[in-house]
Structure 1
């Protein structure tokens, strides 16, 4: 069984920021993750990552915010997407004067 695409969406906003969400269902979990999803959620400008959630073999679930990496506790896809949107909103609130 191959990876099955679950979600793929990309939005380029008026201010030039990009929001991209890609999720696959894997035939087996990606160690050390406790789930069988592979995902990449991105918010930023071309070449400038502001927020990214992803997981990879050997590293597991984590998130990047403004160049720093933090562990992420995956619960389910709905919570993942909600947490990502929350971080995007928080970024906007914290950096309004940067535009």
Structure 2
């Protein structure tokens, strides 16, 4: 199985842009244990205020106002919901 694009979006959101790509992948991106690869970001005036991703070696995590925190991935719907809640929290 090749990677399958699940969602791709880019839109104006408040004073900035939200953008994201979510893939279903054949194998987990270690150390994550699920088969979803994602990158979600909220940028205002060129500054990332919120970002969620699961890069190889780091696993699931999020960036809020320059700080990095662990993130517990449950499913795609919860991922997007949590991301939007954090975006609303920094506005």
Q: Which one has a bigger Cα radius of gyration?
A: 1
Where does residue 96 of structure 1 map in the other structure?
Answer: none
Q: Secondary structure of 1:88's match?
A: helix
Q: Distance in 2 between matches of 1:84 and 1:56?
A: 16
Which residues of structure 2 form unaligned runs of 5+?
A: none
Q: Distance in 2 between matches of 1:53 and 1:14?
A: 19
More helix, by proportion: 1
Greater relative contact order, per chain length (Cα 8 Å cut-off, separation 6+): 2
TM-score normalised by L of structure 2: 0.93
More strand, by proportion: 2
Where does structure 1 differ by over 4 angstroms across 4 or more consecutive aligned residues? none
TM-score normalised by L of structure 1: 0.86
Q: Distance in 2 between matches of 1:20 and 1:82?
A: 14
* Root-mean-square deviation (Å): 1.2
Which residues of structure 1 form unaligned runs of 5+?
A: 93-99
